[in-house]
Amino acid sequence: MTFTARVIHLWLGFCLRTTRWQITGTPTRRAALTRSNTGQVIAFWHRHLALAPALWLWARSKEPSLKMHVFISRNKDGRLIADAVRPWGVTALHGSTARRGKDKGGAAALRSALKILNAGHLVAITPDGPRGPAEHVQPGAEALSRIAKCPLTPVGMAASGIRLPSWDRLILPIPFGRGFINPGPPLVKADAATLRDALLDANKDAETQYAQTRRTPIEILWAGIGTALAPALTVMTRTRLRRGKELPNRVRERMGLSPTLPYARPPLWIHAASVGETLCARPLLDALLATDPALPILFTTATVTGGAILAQHPAFGTRITHQFIPHDVPRWTKRFLDRWTPSGAVFVESELWPGIVTELSRRHIPIMVVNGRLSDRSARRWQRWQRFTRSLFSRLEWVAARGEEDAAHFKTLGVRKVYNHGDLKRDAAPLPYDHAEFLRLRDLIGERPVFVAASTHAGEEEIILQAAERARATRPDLLTILVPRHPNRGAELSKRFALPSRQNGQDPDAKMPVFMADTLGELGLFYRLASMCFVGHSLLPPGGGHNPFEPLRLGVPTATGPHMGNWREAVKQLSHSLHIVANTDSLAQWLVAVETFPTGPLPETRLVHALTTTILETLER
């Protein structure tokens, strides 16, 4: 070995060994590169020639019996490169495509390569070398694969380095950087165009993965803010504990500290903020468990009530593990991910935390969003920080939006893949209820028609009670059950309107005109008692609305106000099932004549099946 070749070998080895390499792609593709006794042609662009030894070092560490051979031109530079890489067990095949009738040793090298492939070893080739043009496939790689009847694997690469001003923009790695090697799907009988497209795709994925490891200045700032706020978040968690909003034996989970279960494979992480999102995710959770019987699920929530809903699942404690999501502090997030090492992360609706998304991306854990929700106001707020949001949202593998408007917002913010499957809440299971309590209340109420005003907000109760009073002029036996969205308003409403309330231990009966159900988690019970229903947070601006699918799924005729901004797509889909009322008069008229208004069935959907398939395919990649 010449002095120059030795210097190149030592420096290149130092750079490659101090670079943090990650071999990406599916387990099948990675395994194919280390399979002995199976000849295979490896193709990568010429600009990655100085990075390629990292692939050899990795493959040899997995399978020591492998032998590596690489096509290198027989000119002076080619011989220098061959000398530099020979100590790593890489043997050069000197030869390249003939030009202008001049033999460059390609035929002899081809015969040698065929013998090597038939012996079950690997042969690497740069389809655009040795003189280019860059990314232009020359004859050789696909011909060698076809003659040898062995697969041709395109490999993409990206790494921290310096690009030289050569025809191929050769990349020289630098010490202590990051690098990615991304094998594409093996090709059989590929032509030049197919090989070029496959190489471009493999390199695009590798470069995207590399770009996602680089934090923007704003992401660094966010991480600093999270670290600085850690003491305050600890105090806040203790305060929530005193108020009953945290569980005493699980406070440490907010800091990423928890025992892990010995799963046979990494779990899929699903996160839902609270009760509504947990119920929304339930059919998807069931479908994933049924489709992949060996898949473990790590399910996190932000609230205790969300965790209580999940605890009712029959697979809870076996295939499903519940944790509280840690606060978005870098050290706590890393602890959490180090403990659980999920294979993928699925976020329900819009519960995205920048620090968690960034750390998942740096670990190349695919980030998926189902039932993606982004209101006009939220979209405008994100767009004010366009540079930051583009970096954040581009890290998402894909988003399955609730509807066209949400999909458009996510695309504007930089999400690469956006699906518009529809609202997952259409497929959610009916709200739970206590059947014995339902029978008891049904006996107390008798055959009276029951109007349930659900999830009402301040200012709506007056309108609803006035409309119910007018309706009783025609339907004197009408019972109105008021269910405020926030039960802590119950005492104030009970006093203002002189209403008997469930919180005070009272029950509805066969005569009272109005009853207030100011308890938590019993909406499913009162929907089943209802003859008709109104869904609140929709009568007064700005409103926003609540879930209209819940009562309609139970066959209850349902009305809402006109201010359903958070449910615009659902209102369009439910145009034949959902009635819109604007004020006291129109609500009273609907209560009197509700049986004459059309109430069609909920539209059928295969959304859960589509999402399940997409999630599992993403994990395979």
Structural domains present in the chain: 3-212 (3.40.1130), 217-422+609-620 (3.40.50.11720), 435-596 (3.40.50.2000)
Catalytic residue (one of 142, 277, 461, 522): 277
Per-residue pLDDT of 394-445, as tens digits, reads 889 999 998 888 999 999 998 989 998 788 888 777 888 999 999 999 999 9
Q: What is the pLDDT of residue 104?
A: 52
State residue 181 phi and psi, 5-degree precision.
-120, 120
Q: What is the pLDDT of residue 401?
A: 93
Burial class from Cβ neighbours inside 10 Å (0-12, 13-18, 19+) for residue 25 reads buried
Q: What is the pLDDT of residue 101?
A: 47
Beta-bridge partner residues of 270: 299, 346
Q: What is the pLDDT of residue 67?
A: 83
Residues 6+ apart with CB under 8 A from 509: 444, 445
Per-residue pLDDT of 220-263, as tens digits, reads 888 899 999 999 999 999 999 998 889 999 999 999 998 777 78
Instruction: Report the 10 Å Cβ neighbour count for 233.
Output: 17
Per-residue pLDDT of 470-515, as tens digits, reads 999 999 999 999 999 999 999 999 999 999 999 999 999 989 999 9
- Tell me if residue 276 falls in helix, strand or coil: helix
Q: What is the pLDDT of residue 210?
A: 86
Residues 6+ apart with CB under 8 A from 250: 258, 324
Instruction: Report the 10 Å Cβ neighbour count for 207.
Output: 16
- Tell me if residue 139 falls in helix, strand or coil: coil
Instruction: Return d(Cα 371, Cα 164) in angstroms, integer.
Output: 46
Q: What is the pLDDT of residue 538?
A: 96
Buried b (16+ CB within 10 A) or exposed e, 344-376: bbbbbbbbbbbbbbbbbbbbebbbbbbbbbbbe
The region, left, alpha or beta by phi > 0 then psi within -120 to 50, assigned to residue 101 is: left
Q: What is the pLDDT of residue 437?
A: 96
Instruction: Report the 10 Å Cβ neighbour count for 80.
Output: 15
Kindly list the averaged pLDDT for each block of 10 residues, start to end, along the chain of length 621.
86 92 84 82 92 89 85 77 85 64 61 86 87 85 87 93 90 92 90 92 89 77 91 94 91 89 88 90 94 95 92 92 96 94 93 91 91 86 79 90 90 91 82 93 95 96 97 96 94 94 94 94 94 96 92 93 90 88 96 81 74 92 72
Which tokens sit at 526? 């009162």
**Is the whole-model pTM more than 0.75?**
no
Residues 6+ apart with CB under 8 A from 145: 41, 151, 152, 187, 188, 189, 190
Instruction: Report the 10 Å Cβ neighbour count for 485.
Output: 15
Quote the crossing angle between the two packed helices 607-620 and 275-291, to the nearest 10°.
Answer: 70
Measured in residues, the chain has a length of 621
State residue 341 phi and psi, 5-degree precision.
35, 60
Q: What is the pLDDT of residue 96?
A: 54
Q: What is the pLDDT of residue 153?
A: 92
Q: What is the pLDDT of residue 10?
A: 93
Location of structure tokens 């471009």: 200
Q: What is the pLDDT of residue 25?
A: 81
277 is catalytic: yes
State residue 318 phi and psi, 5-degree precision.
-115, -80
For every residue of 53-94, which 3-state class applies, written as one string?
Answer: HHHHHHHHHHCCCCCEEEEECCCHHHHHHHHHHHHHCEEEEE
